Amino acid sequence: MMPETDSILVVEDEAGTRATLSAILEDAGYEVTGLEKGTEARKMIRSHSFNVIITDIRLPDVGGLEILELAKEINPDVAVIMMTGYASIETAVNAVNEGAYAYFVKPVNPDEIKTTITNALKQQRLSLENKRLVESLQRSNKLLFEANEELKKATQAKSEFLASMSHELRTPLNVIIGFSELMRDKVPGKINEEQRQCLSDILDSSHRLLNLVNEVLDLSKVESGKMEFKLENVALTEVIESLTRTMLPVLAPRKQSLDIEIEEGLPAVHVDEGRLEQVLLNLATNSSKFTPDGGKLKIEAVRNGDWCQVSVIDNGIGIKEEDQERIFEPFCWLDNPLTKEKSGTGLGLALVETIVEKYGGRIWVESEYGKGSRFTFTLPLAITD
């Protein structure tokens, strides 16, 4: 610790020089201790704290360099200034190389030494301030790291809880769906129109709930690292062709078209085929859902370096700029002016983003409100050449 008032030790065997220098520095407001001998100085350095030590290089008992060494060992921040006659300039230069702040050739110019001391003290304060800042930064970093670790554990626990809860919910839900279907199909006996309508409502809600439970399960599984990804080389053309078949019953009643444009010679992608189908189906279903009847949908795939860039495009309702970021957050869904009732879980895009990021890819949206949207995601190519 540095003392409150800047304190200076002057070690000089020549009484006149010592007295003059001490007087000048005291006048300048410093607390000055003047000593004649190197041995005394060594004792004093061990028991007191100084900001600056001014020492003659040639003392009768101990050399100035030894004083420098001891002072630096005890307090690396102390500024040691050497005084020397012309004969010892070389030693003084060595002293600077060894860590002395400066050296002066006697007779010392009072203004010069005062300026040097002022600069040394400024530097000392800056260095102390720096150290304090670094220490405080290190402390904050440590706290941040610990908080992050806690957060990771909590997120993991949340994902595991959701995964197991969703799993448990699916079994009774499937029983409800199964028996409702049996009753609707009149297997246990006849039902009237009102009962049929009730069963149909039960089934609609159960399917919606099952969809939500499945998406929560998927999302928490990916997040907790429990979802297995079987990576293989997959031909994108085949996946997209199969998607067009799956989408047909969704698109046909609404008279929506789906165009496919795949760059010629596009290499295979290295992904889990099932997850890729899930991503494409999610995006294509959204495009259809948020596009009026008779609208146009398109899937484009191009190569971009070692990546394949797939876009799912529609000329539907579009997304306002302020909503474009947040639609990827879990449970974010916006009103669909095309359908009055609330549909969807707000989990689809969150799941899609999590899956794409698992492959090291990314997903983004470009959209103009009222004109349509383009969702683009990247997938690693199977070969790199």
The residue length of the chain stands at 385
> Of 213-252, which residues contact ligand ADP (CB under 6 A)?
none
- Minimum Å distance from CB 368 to ligand ADP? 11
Shortest distance, CB of residue 150 to ligand ADP, whole angstroms?
28
Q: Least Å distance between CB 275 and ligand ADP?
A: 16
285, two tokens? 């279903």
Q: Which of 104/333 has CB closer to ligand ADP?
A: 333
- Dihedrals phi, psi of 331, to nearest 5 degrees: 65, 20
Minimum CB–partner distance for residue 342 and ligand ADP (Å)? 8
Total chain residues near ligand ADP (CB under 6 A): 19
| Residue among 319, 355, 363, 381 that touches ligand ADP (CB under 6 A) | 319
Pick one of 287, 354, 376, 378: the residue that binds ligand ADP (CB under 6 A).
Answer: 287
Q: Alpha-carbon distance 346 to 331, whole Å?
A: 4
Among 34, 38, 295, 348, binds ligand ADP (CB under 6 A): 348
Which residues does 343 contact at the CB level (< 8 Å), separation at least 6?
A: 289, 336
List the one residue from 163, 349, 355, 381 that touches ligand ADP (CB under 6 A).
349
Those residues whose C-beta lies under 8 Å from the C-beta of residue 34, and which sit 6 or more positions away, are 10, 12, 18, 19, 21, 22
Spell out the residues 6+ positions from residue 274 whose beta carbon is closer than 8 angstroms to its own. 230
Smallest distance, Å, CB 296 to ligand ADP?
A: 12
For residue 332, give Cα distances in angstroms to 222, 303, 327: 18, 31, 5
3-state secondary structure of 6: coil
Q: How far is CA 208 from the centre of its chain?
A: 35
Site for ligand ADP in 358-377 (CB under 6 A): 373
Between 183 and 350, CB nearer to ligand ADP:
350
Rule CB under 6 A: choose which of 346, 358, 380, 382 binds ligand ADP: 346
Reduce the DSSP state of residue 46 to 3 states and report it: helix
Alpha-carbon span 216 to 272, nearest angstrom: 20
Nearer residue to ligand ADP within complex by CB, 45 or 279 = 279
Q: At residue 309, what is the residue type?
A: Q
For the bound state, the minimum distance from the C-beta of residue 222 to ligand ADP, rounded and expressed in Å, comes to 14
Choose one: 41-49, 126-134, 292-300, 316-324; the region binding ligand ADP (CB under 6 A): 316-324
Beta carbon nearer to ligand ADP, 75 or 373: 373
Pairing, β 296-304 against β 257-262: parallel
Among 38, 64, 295, 344, binds ligand ADP (CB under 6 A): 344
Query: Taking the complex as a whole, how short is the minimal distance between the CB of residue 220 and ligand ADP, in angstroms?
Result: 15
Q: Rounded to the nearest whole angstrom, what is the least distance from the CB of residue 210 to ligand ADP in the complex?
A: 14
Residue 314 sits in the site that holds ligand ADP (CB under 6 A): yes
What does the angle CA 47 – CA 49 – CA 50 come to, to the nearest 5 degrees?
130
Check if the beta carbon of residue 163 is closer than 8 Å to that of residue 220: yes
Let me know: does 231 contact 271? Beta carbons within 8 Å: yes
Least Å distance between CB 246 and ligand ADP?
Answer: 17
CA dihedral 219, 224, 228, 232 (to 10 degrees): 80
The reply to whether 333 sits near ligand ADP by the rule CB under 6 A is yes
What one-letter code names the amino acid at 356?
A: V
Cβ neighbours of 157 (radius 10 Å)? 11
Residue among 153 and 342 whose Cβ is closer to ligand ADP: 342
Residues with Cβ within 8 Å of residue 72, at least 6 apart in sequence: 78, 80, 99
Residue closer to ligand ADP by CB (options 56, 215) is: 215
Quote the least distance from Cβ 290 to ligand ADP, whole Å: 3
| Residue 332 binds ligand ADP, judged by CB under 6 A | yes
Complex with ligand ADP: residue 55 or 282, whichever CB lies closer: 282
Give me the residues that bind ligand ADP (CB under 6 A), please. Answer: 286-287, 290, 314, 316-317, 319, 327, 332-334, 344-350, 373
